[in-house]
A and B are shown apart, each in its own frame.
Chain A
Amino acid sequence: MTGCIPRPTAARCALELHDVRKSFGATSIIRGVSLEIVRGERHAIIGPNGAGKSTLFNLICGRFAPSGGSILLEGEAITARPAFEINRRGISRSFQVTNIFPRLSVYENIRCSVLWSLGYRYCFWRGMSRLRDANERSERTLEAIGMTARRDAPAGVLTYAEQRALEIGITIAGDPRLILLDEPTAGMSRAEADNAVALIRRVSQGRTLVMVEHDMGVVFDLADRISVLVYGEIIATDVPARIRSNAAVQSAYLGTAADA
């Protein structure tokens, strides 16, 4: 499946999936996915609705435990570990349906997201205002997502596009090695999506990025490599130009999309 491109060596791999499977009851959603994400690349996973893209994300980040197979982060097994532990090891994800802390201010949303990575853990003996590194990193993240002007607004009252930007801010605030973005531009206007792409390009600088995305413009604009997931199996992984011309992909995915 990945044979058509130079196989990434283990040392270059940020994330490896080996024959990962997931079924809910009798229904198999993920049917043996093997995938290697190269360190520093921007990798997009595309596929028709119901192909299992979001489920695959949920398996990687620990929201669900896989039914079989193994997942390795930088060569270490993280299969079926709790979500918070996987996050602590350096994988951070965003959600397709906005998933923020609605009653906290924008600033507090970000500040909560930097705490663990800076080692504050369950600390209840130091005031937040004295945590200079946490505050500085929060300010930088606010700037990166262009939300400085909205810092004191409760997150629940933001516009949709602002909430999507905050969603990405929460995801990157903890300085993760690997970012998983689940449909970051879903439901956005063209202009908003363009802003989001610029934002993703900025924040993924120096990190590994895996994204699920429906908007082909965004995918071909951002991704270094693309994997095509159809009915729980990856039918191709390649650079964008070759994915575009891949016959199997065209019939399985782009073809159906064009028909619809």
Chain B
Amino acid sequence: MTRDGNRDASRMAPGAALREWVVAHRLWLAAAALLLVLPFLPGLEGDFGRSLLSQMGIAAVFALSYNLLLGQTGLLSFGHAVYFGLGAYAGIHLMRAINAGLPLPMPFVPIAGAATGLAFGMLFGALTTRRAGVVFALISLGVGELVFAAMRMFQGFSGGEEGVTANRGAGMHFFGLTFASQLQVYYVIAIWAFVATALMVAFLHTPLGRMCNAVRDNPERAEFIGYDPVRVRFVAFSIAAMFAGLAGGLHALNYEIVAAEAVGAGRSGAVLLMAYIGGVSNFLGAILGAIVITWLQVSLSDYTTAWQLYLGVFFIAVVLFAPGGLAGLFLMHAPLLRSRAWPGVFKAYAIASVPAVFMLAGAVTLLELNYRLATQPEAGTRLTLFGVAMDTSTPWPWLAASALLALGFYVFRRTWPRVAEAWQQAETEARSPSGSRR
């Protein structure tokens, strides 16, 4: 009712209508502005930074499409990379056709990826969405293995392990886009990622999007309000596959090479990690997960060869201690910031973080020492960690690291109750009439 009232008022004053639109879409406008300036921020303005941003954009679309399945429709898939990879192959083959003279603008290559993702999503979705839960998860695993095996069989199409290459710079130049710089690639990816995100969010606010949530919550009851849960799952699955295919098309454009691993289990696992670490119950949390995991994949591997192990531990820690993911952690603190109770909690955090850092340093050192001995004996016994030179053949680094870990853990256990206490106090303060809200 109030909404309609506003609309009537806006008809009288066109300036007010614009202002209302801007206010209603302020987050989207801010996101667009951020995407625009990101490649010029310090640390990101080089080709490396812009390439990292491009990868994050692709991962964000892929992870959001996965959240459409898992978070919104309640379908746990172990084979979502199938649609990403097939979309990527469609993209790379279209790029080769453009290289050979097909008069199509390069920036539209991702559409081929989306169409391919949608087609295969409908094909496999018709078979797999009859059941949810464990059955669906297992079938998705099977389809993933099947498609991966097929990609290795049809070498002519997939190029096998070596992959298929194309050149994004050779073809008709759309609006002067030559893709000579990573900046142009970034902007094409950013625009697609923005559009895809907006479309997915809009989808969630349609009748079918809402019914995806309903089917996730209670498929049986959905039948008794007129909906066929199999049909709802099928459409959601197809749409998720379409956006995964779009991300695949962006991947082809960004790397100019697609290999069989694009449809593989590793990538299916990675997108699950992103969606989960971002926070399954919060749709846009998937973007957060995509950013963090991509950053870890790219930069952690520069520091340590054991980066996958750290990724695994990080994932387990999130599952155990923050089941709402990173988005859940942020949302948990939002009411705190609105009340005046936050300094106490953040002070407790600061105190507890000191022993936590020691504990982590000890654990990391032990891990790295072990990892060096077990997997890289040829690299010798000397290494430098946290700026400290050490020798794995002497007992000292082992003893020091163990002491750090044990002591850090002990003190951390002693300081953590203070955090719980501060939280409790903050909550009572926020609820009491003297609190700032109420």
Contacts and interface: CB of A to CB of B under 8 A. Distances in A.
Contacts of A127: 202, 205-206
Contacts of B205: 127-129
Interface residues of B, number: 29
Interface of A: 61, 82-84, 87-88, 92-93, 95, 99-104, 108, 111-113, 115-117, 120-129, 131, 134, 170-171, 173-174
Contacts of B228: 82, 84
B220 A124 contact: no
Contacts of A126: 206-207
A104 B222 CA distance: 13
Residue of A101, A102, A104 with most chain B CB atoms under a 10 A cut-off: A101
Interface of B: 3, 202-203, 205-211, 213-214, 216-218, 220-228, 231-232, 235, 239, 281
A179 B239 CA distance: 35
A205 B254 CA distance: 63
Contact of B225 (A102, A122, A123, A170): A170
Given A84-B228, A116-B226, A117-B226, A128 B220 contact: no
A124 B209 contact: yes
A137 to B, nearest CB: 13
A128 B206 contact: yes
Contacts of B232: 122
A101 B218 contact: yes
Contacts of B224: 61, 83-84, 87, 92-93, 99, 171
Given A84-B223, A104-B214, 7 more contacts: A84-B228, A101-B217, A101-B221, A102-B218, A104-B210, A126-B207, A127-B205
A183 B46 CA distance: 68
A82 B227 contact: no
B227 A129 contact: no
Contacts, number: 99
A100 B203 contact: no
Contacts of A104: 210, 213-214, 217
15 contacts: A84-B227, A92-B224, A92-B225, A99-B221, A101-B221, A103-B217, A104-B210, A112-B222, A116-B227, A122-B231, A123-B208, A124-B206, A124-B209, A128-B207, A134-B207
Given A100-B218, A101-B213, A122-B235, A113 B225 contact: yes
A115 B207 contact: yes
Residue among A101, A124, A126, A173 facing the most chain B CB atoms (10 A cut-off): A124
A104 B232 CA distance: 17
Contact of A84 (B202, B203, B209, B226): B226
Contacts of A103: 213, 216-217, 281
Nearest to A170: B225
Given A84-B228, A101-B218, A112-B225, A124 B213 contact: no
B210 A128 contact: yes
Nearest to A173: B225
Nearest to B220: A99
A33 to B, nearest CB: 21
A82 B223 contact: yes
Contacts of A115: 207, 210-211, 225-227
A170 to B, nearest CB: 7
B403 to A, nearest CB: 46
B3 A129 contact: yes
A99 B218 CA distance: 8
Q: Which 10 A-B pairs have the closest CB atoms?
A: A116-B226, A124-B208, A101-B217, A83-B223, A120-B207, A113-B225, A124-B206, A87-B226, A84-B223, A112-B214
B68 to A, nearest CB: 12
A54 to B, nearest CB: 14
A167 B117 CA distance: 39
Nearest to A113: B225
Nearest to A139: B1
Contacts of B217: 101-104
A217 B206 CA distance: 44
Contacts of B239: 124
Contacts of A113: 225
Contacts of B3: 129
Contacts of B221: 95, 99-101, 170
